[in-house]
A and B are shown apart, each in its own frame.
Chain A
């Protein structure tokens, strides 16, 4: 009963928070300086032409009228057309999102596995050489400047050694050939994923490793671990059954939130690796005052983050039965 009440309360909270976010985003974009027409640096376009364009885009309407249209359209599932692409924003997000999920979500999952695995090892061997080296590696990777690391990796593996492509999500030369099959195309995308995935993994795994390590060290000092040792359990059993599951809660929170935020991609990674994801589109939409695209993208990210938080709350109760809401 308490649990049901908690979840109902959380759902209501999520709905209220979402509407607050919706309104805040709308107001933020409304009051942000600039408009999509001012950016068109074409001296032959007169101020009358600019005013006509603004009226055609509906930007001359009063604030409340626009807000009303925005809410109405939201409930109709209509997010409008991008001012720059002229396409429905849902379609633009739909085109870019799979690319983002493919790269960024995969990188979070892989780096989380690597981080958790190495975190367990270093914590279990605290004070030994492996711990020192692992911790230094994690700290170095965690503090690497992504654009620099990405360019260096491209230069070494893409240009000097030439094992991997310099960027992009696919090889156009392969895709334009009509005889290219789906398997070859899928392999091609995987091949193009290697360098960006590697870069993202080495940037991200450090934080997961450090969280896992410190959490493990905390759990190792608990009385029940001493009891487990006294019972004569092997190190592997103690580590796998008693320490790691109890130490994984902070990592689950961190990975859950990272997975949620992975849908907004990463503009820098996408630009350097020419990866057509949503992160660069977000930056483009905001800097070019493309309100429909920016609003829809941010709303989508908000929904994913809110829902992910809710899911993490549920997962907590399964991971640790002591947690009561």
Chain B
């Protein structure tokens, strides 16, 4: 009996201590909240070594630390001076660009000088850093004219120099010189460089990393030396107006959204699935932002092999695909139909006058049109999909112009767990193709295996693929469709070869006049939409949400509100600007 009583007493004490701890813990961390912005992220960055980091989360964090010479303005998407003080000056006689720098300091208070810029470019070239080298390969020499002036000498005129090369982030010579020196003399220089661990990166952006705890949080403080503070750039008076910035890791989107609703975080820096929209829009404390993305989702054909080498078949297949259905039902309206390989949001480069196969047609009209397109080119059916009374019927398998039946083919997609929309598109398109007797089979495949099958081995028929973060410069058209890139691990995955396109792509790369280049890029889009190695499908919208109780002033741009402009402009609502 006495034993039982003692046991009860101990249990009561344990329970009491535990409840006290719960109360104590639930009250912690709620003081001094003003100007303290908390952001939920789905993953922590893989690395703070800028030469290694290739994942989206590393890029997000590093964009707050390392800064480029030029940056895109959020409204017009034009390149504007950032670390540079003015537009670059071009000297055609020696193919050089001169860039003047602002008075910028690194976060340790030392000056950012032209030597840092020269060092960064020379490091990229010396180590052939794969993510950046293609933007600098054509630059012959970089020299520091004086402490705040840099001159770049090009081997030949390249349009992408302004749009892509000058967007590369600059690193501190002091931080990297010794590392680079040691790495360059090692057996595998690049491997040695990327294996260098950076605990606290030295940057010149609006925030400085103070502390990180693996798998839990990243804590930034305002950079007291940030060059942009109180400056008005493109109508935005920059802060940052927040003193402290905390990134909390929530690996489940459902839980991150609960944290947002509860007020544990102010913003969830990740795209939200349309299924959450209803619950978010109903919540008074939540503001939802739906932004355009520079993204491109498409159906690709392996044009190296018949029958997909026949553009007539590809066009007929395009007619069968109902993009309106995909956008309105599969993506629940949070996307736009794509009519070109350049997204509409990228206004200057997007060609608006391109054929939209099957646009506005009903299901029956699509089948009839595709049937007539193919039958006029020698494709036959034992039982055609359109009978003599012009009615749609279940067809027999299609026969190719030489008379043999078309072999079953696959539509590769990423699995539903990776991207439910693409997997659902595969299933729908498979059924639409069957309406015409095309023996399609949608096959989800793990992303790594899919890339290996398509990009390295070229062993596929068709696929549904996409790029979620395309550069705003349309030079990727050259990567995707130039015949030089039809190689294992090259980006011309469909194996498209067209000498006219190659000529235009080369010319667009060399065109230094923006409008001349626009004309060439538009022509390239016309050719692609005519030949259809890729059929553009949709561009998903980016849904983001913020808790509106504490902070306001988010800056929307292509790619969402998670950008350096937002973090430089967002203010606590108690602060008068």
Contacts and interface: CB of A to CB of B under 8 A. Distances in A.
B131 A96 contact: no
Contacts of A12: none
A177 B262 CA distance: 22
A81 B254 CA distance: 33
Interface of A: 32-35, 37-47, 49-53, 56-58, 81, 84-87, 95-96, 99, 151, 154-155, 158-159, 162-177, 184, 187-188, 190-191, 194, 270-277, 280, 287-289
B246 A176 contact: yes
A57, A173, A177, A275 interface centre (most CB from chain B within 10 Å): A173
B483 to A, nearest CB: 13
B410 to A, nearest CB: 15
A106 B29 CA distance: 27
B191 A57 contact: yes
B133 A49 contact: yes
Contact of A33 (B248, B452, B488): B452
B448 A38 contact: yes
B484 to A, nearest CB: 9
A310 B456 CA distance: 44
Interface stretch (B17-25, B171-179, B297-305, B329-337): B17-25
Interface stretch (B110-118, B235-243, B468-476, B511-519): B468-476
A85 B219 contact: no
A271 B447 CA distance: 20
Contacts of B264: 165-166
30 contacts: A33-B446, A34-B446, A38-B448, A41-B467, A43-B476, A43-B479, A44-B135, A44-B475, A44-B476, A44-B479, A47-B491, A52-B190, A57-B191, A84-B47, A86-B49, A86-B52, A151-B254, A151-B255, A155-B258, A170-B217, A171-B28, A172-B248, A173-B30, A174-B29, A175-B213, A184-B28, A187-B21, A272-B255, A276-B214, A287-B446
Interface stretch (B77-85, B194-202, B307-315, B420-428): B194-202
Interface residues of B, number: 72
Given A46-B490, A87-B197, A159 B261 contact: yes
The 10 closest A-B pairs by CB, nearest first: A276-B215, A173-B29, A34-B448, A172-B217, A33-B449, A49-B130, A47-B490, A43-B479, A34-B452, A43-B476
B481 to A, nearest CB: 11
Contact of A96 (B128, B215, B251, B446): B215
A88 to B, nearest CB: 8
Contacts of A280: 251
B194 A39 contact: no
Contacts of A271: 251-252
Contacts of B196: 86
A45 B448 contact: no
Tell which of B188, B246, B491 has the most Cβ of chain A within 10 Å: B491
Most buried by A among B188, B251, B476: B251
Given A44-B475, A86-B194, A191 B251 contact: no
Interface in B447-479: 447-449, 451-453, 455-456, 467, 470-471, 475-476, 479
B349 interface: no
Given A38-B451, A172-B216, A175-B213, A81 B134 contact: no
A258 B114 CA distance: 59
Contact of A190 (B21, B46, B250): B21
A159 B262 contact: yes
Contacts of A176: 210-211, 217, 219, 246
Nearest to B247: A172
A33 B450 CA distance: 8
A162 B191 CA distance: 47
Interface string B434-454: 000000000000111101110
Contact of A45 (B130, B217, B259, B452): B130
A154 B130 contact: no
A164 B264 CA distance: 12
A275 B383 CA distance: 59
A107 B445 CA distance: 35
B489 interface: yes
Contacts of B475: 44
Contacts of B448: 32-34, 38-39, 287-289
Contacts of A56: 188-191
B54 to A, nearest CB: 5
Contacts of A170: 213, 216-217
Given A43-B476, A151-B252, A167-B259, 10 more contacts: A33-B453, A44-B475, A45-B134, A52-B190, A86-B49, A162-B26, A167-B251, A167-B255, A271-B252, A287-B448
Contacts of B476: 43-44
B191 A38 contact: no
Contacts of A34: 446, 448-449, 451-452
Interface in B256-277: 258-259, 261-262, 264
B215 A169 contact: yes
A44 B470 CA distance: 10
B86 to A, nearest CB: 26
Nearest to B30: A173
B52 A159 contact: no
A44 B164 contact: yes
Given A87-B197, A162-B262, A171-B25, A46 B485 contact: yes
B249 interface: yes
B152 interface: no
B487 interface: yes
B149 to A, nearest CB: 27
Contacts of B47: 84-87
A252 to B, nearest CB: 26
A53 B246 contact: no
A39 B447 CA distance: 8
Nearest to B469: A41
B181 interface: no
B195 A86 contact: yes
Contacts of B491: 43, 46-47
Nearest to B490: A47
Contacts of A45: 130-131, 134
Given A58-B188, A86-B47, A52 B130 contact: yes
Contacts of B214: 95-96, 276
Contacts of A43: 467, 470-471, 476, 479-480, 491
A35 B130 CA distance: 15
A149 to B, nearest CB: 13
B153 to A, nearest CB: 21
B246 A172 contact: yes
Contacts of B156: none
Nearest to A151: B254
Contacts of B155: none
Contacts of B213: 170, 172, 175
Interface in B206-248: 210-211, 213-217, 219, 246, 248
B503 to A, nearest CB: 19
Interface in B61-111: none
Interface string B119-145: 000000000101101110000000000
Contacts of B131: 40, 42, 44-45
A275 B130 CA distance: 33
A159 B191 contact: no
A87 B194 CA distance: 9
A167 B250 contact: yes
Contact of A274 (B197, B251, B485): B251
A159 to B, nearest CB: 5
B130 A188 contact: no
Interface in B368-414: none
Contacts of B365: none
